[in-house]
Structure 1
Amino acid sequence: MQFPASLLATITLALLSVDARPVKRSNGMITLPIRKLQRDSNLHVELRHQQHMNRAERLVARAAGLPGPSDAQLSANLERRASFLSPSEKRFNRPSSDYLLPSEDSDSDISNLAVENDDTSSNSRPVLAQKSSDVQPEGNDASYVATVQLGTPSRDFVIILDSGSGDFWVESDVCVLDTDNSQGCGNHSFLSEASSSSFVNTHKDWSITYGSGAAAGELVTDTLVLGGMVLGNHTFGVAHNVSQSFASDRIADGLMGLGRGALSNQNTPTPVQSLVNAGFIKQAITSYRLPRIHDNVDVGEVTFGGLDNTKFDPSTLVTVNCTDNGFYIPVLDGITVNGASLTLLGTHAIMDTGTSLLVAPKQDAAAIHAKIPGAKLQNSGQYSVPCNTAASVALKFGGKEFAINPKDLVFASGGRTTGDCSSGIGAFTDDTARFLVGDTFLKAVYFSTNDGENTITLAKAI
């Protein structure tokens, strides 16, 4: 079906407001501007850090084909992390009530969450449950989001971009929480035959569990407009059930998996593959220039079909083969800290734009932080670094080193330049021998994935 030009609205990306920069199309490539969406949260920074660690543990288990930690285990991780907060940090504001983690006294006064480390009675309840904290075990406080168009007439849907999965879905108009069918899925845009005349339900079920939530529903076909390119009868999912983490997200209406097609639980072509099949792009390549939110510079973009050579130093370009299990997992050649090479346990790295941290095997995280001046091991098993650290940590892929920006070695400093901050490099608590390479590293590079060739490409970002 051919839409009038007026309906083919330019794709934009949002940070609470629409980014008006134009889509670029040239040489068989489609480039969209992107920004990182930072959600406001009053949750203590240590617990936000743990939320990202929880996501990392689930994703690494999934990549290894192993059962991931349960919701109860992830909640226990948060309980344990809260128990290590110092007396001066005993009180902190709870986040929105949309993020309630059920507990025995959910009707209690929870205007503030008290962490009561001095309660040593034998029947003391976990520190988070004592006040029915609004802490979810799988939450994300930052995402890269895009606005795409779906249906007839065409409507905007704000979509999370996730390189660690292969499914595309949006919420349906009958969407409810997977834990409480009496509650809807928030204030979102929903898709159904009532809102789109080109909507066709196949009545085939699908479901997926992420490191940061879950969704389930049915497969449908409808028109997807991506970068001005019309994909008619595209097959994707509508979610009838989502986890609290998706329902309470005030911005995103769904998620677009930009990983390998082999990761698709829906067993359908990804949008990138569909762009190739339709002849809009030549290769199933997705390239990222990830922005640093506090720089306030519009440099972020995602390109389908190739690499935008205005965003990287071509002399640093390297392409690396990946292992063949669905995720993009290249060999990690090594790590240096302030020029000193380390002996590593982990030799492979899962590359994932949806993970905020760089997470290392416990032994390797210890070796890295031992070389960062002022770094300290916390009781929680995670690390702090000076908020003003200037340490140079570099990862080597394909024989070339790529240095992390020192700004990204600090997790959520809140603008502080003195004292200690949580490290942007986390430590797995189990015996995994893989790194999970997220935004701590990826913001310093131009990062591309090639589904057809099962390769990644890295270059120094500019």
Structure 2
Amino acid sequence: LVYCLFVIEWSLSLPLLIRVPLQKGKSLRQNLKEHGLLEDFLKKNPYNPASKYFPSLANDAASETLTNYMDVEYYGTISIGTPAQYFTVIFDTGSSNLWVPSVYCSSAACTNHNRFNPSDSSTYEATSQSLSIQYGTGSMTGILGYDTVQVGGIEDTNQIFGLSETEPGTTFYYAPFDGILGLAFPSISSSGATPVFDNMMNEGLVSEDLFSVYLSSDEQSGSFVMFGGIDSSYYSGSLNWIPLSAETYWEITMDSVTMNGETIACSGGCQAVIDTGTSLLAGPSTGISSINSYIGASDGMISCSAMSSLPNIVFTINGIEFPVPESGSCTSGFESMDVDGLWILGDVFIRQYYVVFDRANNQVALASLLLDDEY
């Protein structure tokens, strides 16, 4: 296992600004296809992206869905315990719990991932609390405990986290990450567990009560999440601040979705969630059908020769236009989801902008990324 190196940016005084590098890993789709299991998996695991935000839509009682269903994931390395035990996790703004596999887990999914051993940590504190999360395409159950969590150079002491005991099925078996580190609000945290960033804020470990994200495109490296600060060298112009419409997920009000100046969805306004843990961009089927019709997508595929001439999809938020081009991968980056007109602005959207998640003022900011030759 190759671990990420953490790049620590020293500010003039403590606390620190911490940048955690993110790796762009092989997708679950690729792993399943390589093992000849993709077709069977898709039949047995129908996916509803809305179940992450509306738990009643999942097959069973749920609190969140799989952080990323089939496509590219961005994940980084953290450690838990004393001495440190290392884990790769998705930094997910669409959920609020931290959990990793544990030695108490006998599921196949735990056998090929790093597992936390409480007996090897001198700072671990057990609890009698349980944790159960039903996902759209999988689930986990386990227990809650407290220990020191290292995120970059931040030592987050007395952090509550989940230790999985079961991870049924194949979903997590083929996932390239060990666990999940949620960055949404405490109000949606399973079992009322305090999220990692809330604990950081409570302990005064960050310079500002915000974090920011940069996700690289294609095969480029350099993705990161920065705790407590903003790196202005990654964007041009100014940050465009947008107030939150709910303090659960990072939910905002969107004005409209247009293409070539024509409104194709969200006429009169709609709600959207900015979610680093979802790879695609999801929205109501009527709007997604309009987008796919404009770009000539069929069954999720687009003519590669037509990619360069496709129009941008423009998301107008708080009066500002945020265009999103097609990815260039000859596949559509959009999927349908019909729940109260909700849109999920996943990595397809986030890759186009530098994003700031501000807990102090309950707002997010978007800024245009610098072009490659501007760095």
Place the TM-score, normalised by the shorter chain, in its bin.
0.7 to 0.9
CA contact (8 A) 2:73 2:90 kept: yes
Which residue does the alignment assign to 1:323?
245
**Which residue number corresponds to residue 337 of structure 1?**
259
3-state DSSP of counterpart to 2:254: coil
1:385 matches 2:302:
yes
| Counterpart residue identity of residue 52, structure 2 | L
Bigger radius of gyration among the two: 1
3-state secondary structure, aligned to 1:266:
helix
Map Cα deviations across residues 328-348 of structure 1 (whole Å, 9 max, x no partner): 111111222234443535611
Query: Aligned partners of 1:49 and 1:339: how far apart in 2?
Result: 37
Output aligned runs, 1:145-160, within 5 Å. Answer: 145-160=75-90
Amino acid at match of 2:286: Q
**Amino acid of the structure 2 residue aligned with 1:70:** N
Q: Give the drift of 1:250.
A: 5.8
**1:69 corresponds to which residue?**
58
1:51: Cα distance to partner?
Answer: 10
Moved more, 448-457 or 44-53: 44-53
- Asked whether 1:32 is paired with 2:25, we answer no
What's the CA shift for 1:247? 4.0
RMSD after superposition: 3.0
2:184 pairs with one of 243, 259, 262: 259
User: What secondary structure sits across from 1:256 in the alignment?
Assistant: strand
One-letter amino acid matched to 1:34: L
What's the secondary structure of 1:273's corresponding residue? helix
Q: TM-score, normalised by structure 1?
A: 0.69
Unaligned runs of 5+ in 2: 61-65, 371-375
CA offsets 1:284-341 (integer angstroms, 9 cap, x no match): 322111112x3x32231101113211111233x2111122251111111122223444
Matches within 5 A, 1:190-205: 190-205=115-130
How many pairs align? 352
Aligned pairs for 1:24-423 (under 5 A) are 24-26=9-11, 28-39=16-27, 40-41=30-31, 43=33, 54-62=47-55, 67-70=56-59, 139-177=69-107, 183=108, 185-245=110-170, 247-249=172-174, 251-292=176-217, 294=218, 296-315=219-238, 317-324=239-246, 326-344=248-266, 347-372=270-295, 375-376=296-297, 378=298, 383-387=300-304, 388-390=306-308, 391=310, 392-406=312-326, 408=327, 413=329, 421-423=330-332
Which residue is 1:125 aligned to? none
1:348-401 per-position Cα deviation (integer Å, ceiling 9, x unaligned):
1122111111112112123333433xx14x4xxx55432242321121112111
Task: Name the aligned partner's letter for residue 134 of structure 2.
Answer: T
Shift of 1:170: 1.3
Looking at structure 1, the residues matched to 356 and 129 of structure 2 have their Cα atoms a distance apart, in angstroms, of 32
Structure 2 letter corresponding to 1:207? S
Please state which structure has a larger fraction of its residues in strand: 2
Aligned AA (1:37): G
Residues 208 and 250 of structure 1: CA distance in aligned 2, closer, same or farther (over 3 Å): closer
Asked if the contact 2:7–2:18 (Cα under 8 Å) also holds between the matched residues in 1, the reply is no
Question: Could you tell me the TM-score, scaled by structure 2's length?
Answer: 0.83
Alignment partners' CA distance in 2, 1:240 and 1:302: 29
How far apart, CA to CA, are the structure 2 residues paired with 1:184 and 1:60? Answer: 25
Distance 1:458 1:42, change over 3 A: same
**Farther-moved stretch of structure 1 (306-315 vs 53-62):** 53-62
Q: What amino acid sits opposite 2:59 in the alignment?
A: S
Map Cα deviations across residues 256-285 of structure 1 (whole Å, 9 max, x no partner). 011112221132321111222222214432
Q: CA deviation at 1:451?
A: 3.0
Q: Distance in 2 between matches of 1:59 and 1:51?
A: 19
Aligned residue number for residue 92 of structure 1: none
Change (3 A) 1:247 1:49: closer
| Alignment deviations for residues 118-150 of structure 1 (CA, whole Å, 9 cap, x no partner) | xxxxxxxxxxxxxxxxxx9x8434322111111
Q: Judge conservation of contact 1:51–1:140 (CA < 8 Å) in 2.
A: no
* 1:396-429: CA deviation from partner (whole Å, max 9, x where unpaired): 11211122133x2x5xx4xxxxxxx44111223x
Residues 68-90 of structure 1, C-alpha deviation per residue, up to 9 Å, x if partnerless? 1328xxxxxxxxxxxxxxxxxxx
Contact 2:4 2:77 in 1 (8 A): no
Name 1:11's counterpart in structure 2.
Answer: none
Asked whether the equivalents of residues 90 and 180 of structure 2 are also in contact (C-alpha less than 8 Å), the reply is yes
Identity %: 25
Question: 8 Å contact 2:58–2:136 — kept in the other structure?
Answer: no
Distance 1:243 1:152 in 2: 29
**Distance in 1 between residues matched to 2:265 and 2:94, nearest whole Å:** 27
1:74 paired residue number: none
Q: Residue 139 of structure 1 contacts residue 213 of structure 1 at CA under 8 Å; is this kept in 2? A: no
Residue type of the partner of 2:235?
F
Contact 1:146–1:159 (8 Å) recurs in 2: yes
Letter in 2 for 1:441: F
